[in-house]
Structure 1
Amino acid sequence: MTDDAYLVLITDTAPDLGVPPAAAGESACMETPAVRAWLQAQGVSATSPDLRLVPPEETAAIPEDAERIPVPLGEEELIRVRHHLAPENLARLEEELLAYRSRVDGRDALLTRALAAGVPAHRVAELTGEELSVVKSMAR
């Protein structure tokens, strides 16, 4: 396994490989000089249906003779690519986990703001489901 994601020109032997580049959203890697030159050398555009982004853990499935180039994908881009590769039932759970992450990212700041605004610690604990001792420790 490699740590690089790859942009691959698919062949008849690998039709189910990876996801179209659009699955990663507006990826900056598609505008890099190296990728632009590679696309030109392959005679395809960035929107070609024959292009696939393959995450690092799936690169072993790339046929040896496939045209490919390593591409730098950011964490969010990789999350989107992996999400598109997941079976539908897992993709729904992944969406819930991402929503959860976005809610807890600002947890400490939100608790501190609520306490500073005068919301009693017991009410913050009740509304958030946090332990009262945790909420009280945020007030210090």
Structure 2
Amino acid sequence: MTDDAYLVLLDGTAANLGVPPSAVGELACMDTPAVQGWLGAQGITAASPRLRLLPPEETSAVPEEAERLPVPLSDDELSRVRNGSAPPSIARLEEELLAYRSCADGRDALLTRAFAAGVPAHRIAELTGEDLTAVKAAGSR
């Protein structure tokens, strides 16, 4: 397995690998001279139906003869590529997990602010759905 994501030109049955770059939104790498030069050398545009973007874990499935270019992706971009290449049921669950993570970020700081403002532990537990014992533990830090 490689740590690089790849832009790949695919034909035939391999064309179901990865995702079209346009399906995952803006990608910083698509505007780089390296990618623009590679696309030009291949005689295609970023909208080509043959162009696919693969996360690192899928690159071993790329046919040996396929033209490919390693591309740098941010963590957010890579997450969108992985989500876009997952089956729809998995993609929906991944979106829910990301939403959960964004809601859970700052949990302890929020609980601390609530205690500092004078909100009682039982009310914090009621409003957040957190276990009262966990709320009290967070308040004692």
Deviations 1:11-50 (A, max 9, x none): 2352212100023321101111211111111111122222
In structure 2, the gaps of 5 or more residues are none
1:70-109 equivalences in 2 (<5 Å): 70-109=70-109
**CA-to-partner distance for each residue in 1:83-139, whole Å, 9 max, x for gaps?**
122112212211211111111012122212222222112211222232334323433
Q: Which residue of structure 2 aligns with residue 119 of structure 1?
A: 119
Identity of aligned residues (%): 71
Q: What's the C-alpha RMSD, in Å, of the aligned pairs? A: 1.6
Distance 2:47 2:107 in 1: 39
1:9 alignment partner in structure 2: 9
Instruction: Count residues with an aligned counterpart.
Output: 140
CA distance in 2, matches of 1:117, 1:40: 60
